[in-house]
Amino acid sequence: MIYITGDIHREQDIHKINPREFEAGNHLTPDDYVIICGDFGCIWDGGSGDRFWLNWLESLPWNTLFVDGNHENFDVLKTYPVVDYKGG
């Protein structure tokens, strides 16, 4: 299953994919994907805030993917390596 959303903006709107509100999330598995189409915001300060949210996302049962939007910190985002994922 693939779910698509956007505008998470880190702690401002991440509740949208918290399984307490995103009820379908309670039934997703590692074979499922949630794609955030812009304004992910969880790579923002390059520090403990990012680690907290990335760890939280990692704890969820599904795969979370994102496409960058206009509200990202591109200076921090560009420090991340480019890697192949599932052949792409």
Q: Which residues bind Fe ion (CB under 5 A)?
A: 7, 39, 71
Least separation in angstroms between residue 9's CB and Fe ion is 6
Considering the complex, state which of residue 7 and residue 32 has its C-beta at the smaller distance from Fe ion. 7
CB of 57 to Fe ion, least distance (A): 18
Pairing of strands 33-37, 2-5: parallel
- Using DSSP's 3-state secondary structure scheme, residue 26 falls into helix
Taking the least distance from each CB to Fe ion, the nearer of 28 and 42 is: 42
* CA dist list (Å): 11 to 23, 26, 53, 85, 88: 19, 20, 8, 26, 29
> Whole-number minimum distance, CB 39 to Fe ion, in Å?
3
Cβ closest to Fe ion, residue 28 vs residue 34: 34
